[in-house]
């Protein structure tokens, strides 16, 4: 028999989701029923932090900029390849009565 595979260190996605929901519930206990923009903003911030990690806007903007640069580089490279390996233009067709080269009969 082959050896058994090791269990995932982080667990399944459902288990991770349950852990995140538990953390959100613990941090926002008793605040969901309160009125006021301050509590609602706090709840929204906590849920966002738990679900998406501790990424600050600067890191997100930097990663987006890197993606954009990679995309631009790829586009330039493709354009350069197209420029180098242009398809051959088909020769012009000459009608029957016209001479191809003047002076040749």
pLDDT in tens, 19-70: 888 988 888 888 777 778 888 888 888 888 888 776 677 777 888 899 999 9
Any domain includes 104: no
Going by C-alpha positions, the residue among 56, 54, 50, 55 that lies closest to residue 17 is: 50
Q: Is residue 101 part of a domain?
A: no
Residue 68 lies inside a defined structural domain of this protein = yes
Domain that holds residue 50: 16-94
Domain count along the chain: 1
pTM over 0.85: no
Q: Is residue 80 part of a domain?
A: yes
Residue 8 lies in a domain: no
pLDDT of residue 25: 87
Q: Within a domain: residue 28?
A: yes
CB-based contacts of 51, cutoff 8 Å, min separation 6 = 20, 24
């Amino acid at each position: 028999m082959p050896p058994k595979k090791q269990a995932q260190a982080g667990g399944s996605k459902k288990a991770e989701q349950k852990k995140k929901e538990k953390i959100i519930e613990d941090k926002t206990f008793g605040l969901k029923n309160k009125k006021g923009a301050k509590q609602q903003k706090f709840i929204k911030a906590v849920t966002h932090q738990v679900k998406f990690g501790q990424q600050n806007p600067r890191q997100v903007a930097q990663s987006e900029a890197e993606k954009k640069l990679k995309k631009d580089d790829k586009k330039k490279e493709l354009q350069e390849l197209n420029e180098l390996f242009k398809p051959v233009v088909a020769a012009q067709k000459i009608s029957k009565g016209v001479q191809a080269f003047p002076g040749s009969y």
